[in-house]
């Protein structure tokens, strides 16, 4: 009987300085800090949810997969490739299970001293500042929360000295989509929405359109603008594009988890219109792969098959990712 497989999507992100948007991690000795802290859980509450990150030493089959298509001798920091991070987010409930014959349900058993979690598996590519991430489920944390965790982790280990420094996760852009966005001459319309307040990660640009006191705990703002049909001009499209770029950042670089809504209807030099949902497409390089299973009866997502999928996905694009470092 063929082994069952679970399919998950691997996404590639870049850790950048939250203030400048520029890569800021290339001088970090990832191998040294991971080696010194492997298998040591580091707890952190992020946006009200308890997280625990643990550096794990990758298994030999995962390392073999990495070297198969991209030998470690070709990369600047091979040691860091030997480690991955499991970011476990506590669930606020215990999932149910059901009897397939009777349909009866009961909570999944949890051992004493254990708690149910949703995992995010993260692998730092062995060059530059890129990470590959694989979420166990829809309720797993995403790359943006990992950026918060790794910031606190590095500060606690004395690697980052500046108390005001923070990483954010920016997408490693899909080149075809980025080219289309870069060549846009104007916008016919856009909708943009995101969260703002003390208890959420502020969406890029949202604070600049909030007038008056800014003491909100958490609100969501949605903005829509479009050139009026039969009355607006080509010049209006150019002005709308310029305003969008100025206020909300470059079209090709929304950060993870923010905004919550971003859709643009672009127009090129020939007047052709293209509509892109920036959230749906994410514009992020991604690969969807099956996760190998060791049992025919139980589907499991665990660190060995998750990290194997991360490395396998990276191997398919490693040469191009290397040029984007």
* H or E segment and range at residue 170: strand 167-171
Assess whether 14 and 25 both reside in one domain.
Answer: yes
| Under 8 Å between Cβ of 10 and 134 | yes
Assess whether 240 and 159 both reside in one domain.
Answer: no
Does any domain span residue 147? yes
**pLDDT-derived band of residue 110, with 50, 70 and 90 as boundaries?**
confident
Does any domain span residue 187? yes
Assess whether 130 and 225 both reside in one domain.
Answer: no
Assess whether 163 and 50 both reside in one domain.
Answer: yes
Does any domain span residue 1? no
Does any domain span residue 288? yes
pLDDT at 311: 86
First to last CA, the chain: 42
Does any domain span residue 216? yes
Assess whether 106 and 237 both reside in one domain.
Answer: no
SS3 content of the chain, % helix, strand, coil (to 5): 30, 30, 40
Assess whether 127 and 275 both reside in one domain.
Answer: no
Name the residue with higher pLDDT: 27 or 216.
216
**pLDDT-derived band of residue 257, with 50, 70 and 90 as boundaries?**
very low
Average pLDDT, the chain: 78
- Structural domain total, the chain: 2
The residue segments making up the domain with residue 194 are 175-281
pLDDT at 184: 73
pLDDT greater than 80 at residue 27 = no
CA-CA-CA-CA dihedral for 103, 106, 107, 109, to nearest 10: -100
| Under 8 Å between Cβ of 288 and 8 | yes
Question: Which token pair is 115?
Answer: 């708690």
| Under 8 Å between Cβ of 53 and 86 | yes
Assess whether 315 and 224 both reside in one domain.
Answer: no
Alpha carbons within 13 A on the beta-carbon side of 72 = 13
Assess whether 245 and 105 both reside in one domain.
Answer: no
Assess whether 47 and 63 both reside in one domain.
Answer: yes
Assess whether 48 and 104 both reside in one domain.
Answer: yes
Does any domain span residue 17? yes
In three-state secondary structure terms, 310 is helix
Does any domain span residue 33? yes
DSSP H helices, 127-168, are 143-156
Give the residue-averaged pLDDT of 239-265.
Answer: 64
pLDDT greater than 60 at residue 297 = no
Assess whether 290 and 268 both reside in one domain.
Answer: no
For the entire predicted model, the pTM comes to: 0.67
Assess whether 95 and 221 both reside in one domain.
Answer: no
pLDDT at 77: 52
- Rounded distance between C-alpha atoms, residue 141 and residue 135, angstroms: 7
> If we measure between CA atoms, which residue out of 312, 321, 313, 286 comes closest to residue 74?
321
Does any domain span residue 90? yes
């Amino acid at each position: 009987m063929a082994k069952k497989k679970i399919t998950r999507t691997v996404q590639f992100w870049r850790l950048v300085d939250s203030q400048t948007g520029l890569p800021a991690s290339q001088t970090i000795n990832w191998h040294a800090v991971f080696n010194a802290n492997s298998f040591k859980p580091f707890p952190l509450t992020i946006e009200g949810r308890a997280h625990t990150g643990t550096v794990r030493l990758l298994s030999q089959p995962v390392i073999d997969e990495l070297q198969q298509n991209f030998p470690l001798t070709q990369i600047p920091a091979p040691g860091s490739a030997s480690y991955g991070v499991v970011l476990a987010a506590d669930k606020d409930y215990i999932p149910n299970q059901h009897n397939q014959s009777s349909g009866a349900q009961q909570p999944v058993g949890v051992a004493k001293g254990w708690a149910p979690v949703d995992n995010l598996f993260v692998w730092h590519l062995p060059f530059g500042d890129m990470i590959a991430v694989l979420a166990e489920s829809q309720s797993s944390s995403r790359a943006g929360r990992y950026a918060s965790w790794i910031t606190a982790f590095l500060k606690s280990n004395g690697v980052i000295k500046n108390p005001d420094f923070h990483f954010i996760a920016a997408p490693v852009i899909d080149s075809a989509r980025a080219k289309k966005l870069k060549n846009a001459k104007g916008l016919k319309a856009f909708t943009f929405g995101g969260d703002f307040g003390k208890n959420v990660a502020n969406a890029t640009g949202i604070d600049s359109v909030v007038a008056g006191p800014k003491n909100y705990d958490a609100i969501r703002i949605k903005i829509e603008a479009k050139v009026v049909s039969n009355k607006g001009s080509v010049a209006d499209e150019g002005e709308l594009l310029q305003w969008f770029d100025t206020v909300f950042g470059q079209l090709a670089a929304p950060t993870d988890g923010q905004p919550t809504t971003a859709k643009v209807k672009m127009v090129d030099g020939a007047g052709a219109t293209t509509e892109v949902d920036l959230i749906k497409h994410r514009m992020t390089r991604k690969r969807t792969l099956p996760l190998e299973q060791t049992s025919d009866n139980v589907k499991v997502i665990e660190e060995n098959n998750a990290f194997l999928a991360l490395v396998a996905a990276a191997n398919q694009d490693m040469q191009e990712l290397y040029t984007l470092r």
